[in-house]
Amino acid sequence: MKNYEFTIALSGVDSTTDSLEDRIFEAGCDDTLLCFCNEIPYLEYTREAETAEAAIQQALTQLTDAGFVVLSIQQAGFVTVTGAAAMADIKKSTFDHYAKGRRGEGFPAPRYGLQSGTPLYYWPEIATWLVDNQKASAQLLEAALAAVKLSRSNLDF
């Protein structure tokens, strides 16, 4: 068994929702931390499972069975350099060097946000680069790929 870290955002609930923490815990999600970005709740998981796909699918099933609506799996989407650094547990200044080509070669190009000056990178591409360059564990990439697969098959975006 391996530990996988992933983040799931919820829709239709906020910090004023009655017994939110209790409902999450009772759903079987006792391996998560409830957080908020403004009023949007998200769950930071560290889940032990045979595969990342099994870990994420179990969490999705538990949440939907408990009546929650899943907004997104963060590892399947786009991130800023700051967000990528946090997800990989690497200093932001180090990620800045990667993104600007000062350290390592072939860092993924941003996909969006160029006009705004806040480039957005596709997390699975960054996770691939990190693992290929021995800067992160294989579980990081496995979680990203599983999140993409499960987002496509379980979520309505």
| CATH superfamily, region 2-75+148-154 | YebC, transcriptional regulation domain (3.30.70.980)
Q: What is the pLDDT of residues 35-62, one digit of tens each?
A: 999 889 999 999 999 999 999 999 999 9
Q: How far apart are CA 145 and CA 136, in angstroms?
A: 15
Instruction: Identify whether the C-beta of residue 95 lies closer than 8 Å to the C-beta of residue 135.
Output: no
Question: Three-class SS of residue 127?
Answer: helix
Tokens (6 digits) for 31? 């391996």
Q: How confident is the model at residue 105, as a pLDDT?
A: 87
**Strands, sheet with 32-37, edge to edge from the N-terminal-most edge strand:** 32-37, 40-49, 2-11, 69-73
Q: What is the pLDDT of residues 16-39, one digit of tens each?
A: 888 999 999 999 999 999 999 988
Tokens (6 digits) for 2? 């391996």
Low-confidence residues of the chain: pLDDT under 50: 157
Question: What is the overall mean pLDDT for the chain?
Answer: 93
The CA-CA-CA angle for residues 120, 68, 29, to 5°, reads: 85
